[in-house]
Structures are given as structure tokens and as C-alpha cells.
């Protein structure tokens, strides 16, 4: 039987900080800043950030990459007794990957009103009809996870404005 890992507030803060650091790495690479970490026995077994543009892979979201890295590190597709920390509410694909990998608990940062599939649009991780259910802790340092995204898209909009202005000069 899979255990649901529990954490102190300090541990939750720490692991989310590592995920936030991953998100910042994504921003530095011009990727939408989202980061994820997978923890087992209080150790980080995988960390990843969004790589969609660099790899031109539709699937290269932080959570999916972290799950694959954890599968690799633990040599098992089953991620029982682990916890996933991610800076943004997972999308449909990542929620499905979390279920498929049997991750028992997820801590996430900012809500995603447009695409979030664990709370906002759907509550896929808590569907009684599926063969696996996940405990979800929403809005963990969500302001910080959300601020990274707002800054990123703000910079893109400002850049576009500058480009438009220089074209009209």
C-alpha cells in the first residue's frame, strides 16, 4: 500500500523553493517559468522545468519531465510514496501523468484559471471512478509562482510593444 508522505511547513517551503528556483531557470531560458520537484523519503529524486520551446516538445512540461526523471532515478514507473511540488496548477496532461505514475500527493503554487485540471476547470486528481486518487494541496506559495508568470508575460508584452514602436519609426 502506498504511503502519503507528510511534511513540516518548513519542508513544504523548502521543496517549493526548489521548484520556484527551477521555474526561474525556465524564465532565464525564455521558457514559461514553471518548475517541479519530486521528493521521496525527504530527498529530492527529480527536479525539472518547462522546456517546451527549447525542445519543441508539446509534452515538455515541468511536471511531466520531473515524473520521467523520477521514473528513471527510481527505475520504476510507479512513484508510490513520493510527493510532487509544482509552481502552477497542473494541466490536463500533467494531471493524467500524475495519476498514471501513482503519485500520492501534490503541492502546487498558483491556480491556473484557464487550464488548471486539479481545481480550476477539473478536479481530475480526486475522481472516484479512476484507479488512483491524489491528495491535492493548492496555493502553496502561490503568489510567488504566479508572480514569476506575470513578470514573464509582462516582459514579453513590453518587448512586443517596443518592436511595434521601432517598426513604426
Residue number, 45 or 94, with CB nearest to a second copy:
94
Query: Least CB distance from residue 77 to a second copy, whole Å?
Result: 4
Strands 82-88 and 135-137: unpaired
Residue number, 78 or 161, with CB nearest to a second copy:
78
Rounded to 10 deg, the angle between the 92-100 and 62-74 helix axes is: 20
Tell me if 80 sits within 8 A of 3, measured CB to CB. yes
- Chain residues in the site for a second copy (CB under 8 A): 52-53, 55-61, 64, 67-68, 71-72, 75-79, 91-97, 99-102, 114-115, 117, 121-122, 124, 127, 129-131
Query: Least CB distance from residue 49 to a second copy, whole Å?
Result: 16
Cα dihedral sign for 155, 95, 22, 138? positive
Residue 132 CA to residue 27 CA, distance in Å, equals 33
Active site residue 53: no
Residue number, 27 or 64, with CB nearest to a second copy:
64
Query: Least CB distance from residue 114 to a second copy, whole Å?
Result: 7
Q: Is 132 annotated as a binding residue?
A: no
Residue 105's DSSP bridge partners are 83, 135
| Catalytic member of 22, 31, 63, 89 | 63
Instruction: Classify 31 as helix, strand or coil.
Output: coil
Task: State the catalytic residues.
Answer: 63
Binding residues for Zn(2+): 61, 91, 94
Amino acid at each position: 500500500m502506498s504511503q502519503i508522505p507528510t511534511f513540516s511547513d518548513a519542508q513544504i517551503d523548502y521543496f517549493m523553493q526548489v521548484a520556484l528556483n527551477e521555474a526561474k531557470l525556465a524564465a532565464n531560458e525564455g521558457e514559461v517559468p514553471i518548475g517541479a520537484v519530486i521528493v521521496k523519503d525527504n530527498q529530492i529524486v527529480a527536479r525539472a522545468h518547462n522546456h517546451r520551446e527549447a525542445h519543441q516538445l508539446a509534452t515538455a512540461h515541468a511536471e511531466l519531465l520531473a515524473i520521467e526523471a523520477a521514473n528513471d532515478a527510481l527505475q520504476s514507473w510507479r512513484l508510490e510514496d513520493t510527493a510532487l511540488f509544482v509552481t502552477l496548477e497542473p494541466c490536463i496532461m500533467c494531471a493524467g501523468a500524475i495519476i498514471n505514475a501513482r503519485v500520492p500527493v501534490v503541492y502546487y503554487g498558483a491556480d491556473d484559471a484557464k487550464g488548471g485540471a486539479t481545481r480550476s476547470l477539473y478536479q481530475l486528481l480526486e475522481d472516484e471512478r479512476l484507479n488512483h486518487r491524489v491528495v491535492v494541496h493548492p496555493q502553496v506559495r502561490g503568489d510567488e509562482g504566479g508572480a514569476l508568470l506575470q513578470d514573464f508575460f509582462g516582459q514579453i508584452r513590453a518587448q512586443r510593444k517596443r518592436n511595434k514602436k521601432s517598426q513604426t519609426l
